[in-house]
Amino acid sequence: MAGRLRAAVVGVRGMGIGHIKAILALPEMYELAAICDINPETARKVSEEYKVPGYLSLADMLKHEKPDVVSLATPHPFHCAGAVACARAGVHVLVEKPIASTVSEADRMIQAHKRAGTVLSVVFQQRYQPLQRTIRKLVIGDAIGEITRIHMTATCFRSDFYYKLVGWRGTWEGEGGGVLLNQAPHALDQYLWQSGLEVKTVIGRCEAFMHPIETEDRASAIVTFANGAMGTLVASTTDAPGIYRIEMVGDKGAIVFENGKASIAVNDVPTREFNAKCREEWGSPKAEWKDVVPEDPGYPYRSHDACFYHLGLQIRGEKSEYVPGEEGRKSLELANAIILSGWKGGSVKCPVSRREYGEFLAGRIRAAKRGKKRTGERSG
């Protein structure tokens, strides 16, 4: 494809401004064509500031601007309708995380773009950080052997003020979940992408512990993977200071990522082999912890600019590291499974039953509308 791609951004109050800046940071690849926001004041302000046409509806913008690419930075429940409308208009899409609120919406988005022959990509900017890429390369390259256990802690703090400031946050109708859909998706994506593991079953626990919100501000889960590995995880918006940690243990050693640093230990003898041969009461494989040194990815982009850069390469038919819709659906599948198990009880098999999840969410939205108080409610 010759020439610059005409890109337009939908939802320009918060993250959408980051999309605009990322597009403007890639002037050889993109031209900012237009913006759209259902809030007239936001649309006017941003359109004036960036000197591009502003629209109040995606349909109008598609009709009048005919962009090549649309990025969606609206609350998650609009991601599906927006991405499907773009596919029907033959427009490529970059959609914010989570890809959608429900897995069936993600299915529809993926199908629509497949049918249209357009690219659907999901914003998981952490995949482009050198340290995160290097961890994945080591694990997928068998540096610690087959994964036998993995744990994720993704905790942070959000205040009541944060939830009250923007009406859709922490509501079933406005986002379809809580911390698992809003703050934890990056960590859930790393958990699955770096390990390469496939989720089989989930037992979750969800609760509105600290905040007066409808959805979970604290969640934990026990995850069983297809290869038999044991997974555990916690996510919250109730912990200060927050901790971001992923630990992966394999048959040959372990890798731990915590708050921006990572270390690896490789055993002198693989664990199962050592176990079969060991004849000492307190014997154990020997290993030394070493820092993981990040590899330069070979491009200068690290955040949303990297998401747009790789999408652009993919659209041009060049070699890219874009994140396809199917990849974005994986962390949503896990989040939906924890939510379903956590609020309903019992173990949930993956892929999640689309029908059961749809009925569950519709029930939660109906109950919330009836004004049922949910603060302090917990499951399990």
Ligand X SMILES: NC(=O)c1ccc[n+]([C@@H]2O[C@H](COP(=O)([O-])OP(=O)(O)OC[C@H]3O[C@@H](n4cnc5c(N)ncnc54)[C@H](O)[C@@H]3O)[C@@H](O)[C@H]2O)c1
Burial class for 369, CB neighbours closer than 10 Å (0-12, 13-18, 19+): exposed
Q: Kindly state whether residue 187 participates in binding ligand X, applying the rule CB under 6 A.
A: no
Q: Kindly state whether residue 351 participates in binding ligand X, applying the rule CB under 6 A.
A: no
The amino acid that residue 59 corresponds to is: A
Q: Kindly state whether residue 38 participates in binding ligand X, applying the rule CB under 6 A.
A: yes
> Is residue 172 a contact partner of residue 181, using CB atoms and an 8 Å limit?
no
* Identified binder of ligand X from the candidate list 9, 42, 207, 229, rule CB under 6 A: 42
Q: Kindly state whether residue 292 participates in binding ligand X, applying the rule CB under 6 A.
A: no
Q: Kindly state whether residue 100 participates in binding ligand X, applying the rule CB under 6 A.
A: no
Which lies closer to ligand X via its Cβ, residue 75 or residue 270? 75
* Identified binder of ligand X from the candidate list 7, 86, 99, 123, rule CB under 6 A: 123
Cβ-closest residue to ligand X? 14
* Identified binder of ligand X from the candidate list 5, 8, 9, 11, rule CB under 6 A: 11
Contact mark string toward ligand X, 296..335, x via CB under 6 A:
----------------------------------------
Q: Kindly state whether residue 70 participates in binding ligand X, applying the rule CB under 6 A.
A: no
* Identified binder of ligand X from the candidate list 33, 73, 147, 152, rule CB under 6 A: 73
> Is residue 170 a contact partner of residue 178, using CB atoms and an 8 Å limit?
yes
Contact mark string toward ligand X, 224..263, x via CB under 6 A:
----------------------------------------
CB within 8 Å of 296: residues ≥ 6 apart: 130
DSSP code per residue over 67-103 = -SEEEE-S-GGGHHHHHHHHHHTT-EEEEPSSS-SSH
29's enclosing H/E stretch is none
CB within 8 Å of 305: residues ≥ 6 apart: 22, 25, 26
Q: Kindly state whether residue 74 participates in binding ligand X, applying the rule CB under 6 A.
A: yes
Report the Cα–Cα distance between both ends of the chain, in Å, rounded. Answer: 54
CB within 8 Å of 317: residues ≥ 6 apart: 1
Contact residues for ligand X (CB under 6 A)? 10-16, 36-39, 42, 58, 73-76, 78, 96-97, 123, 125, 166, 182
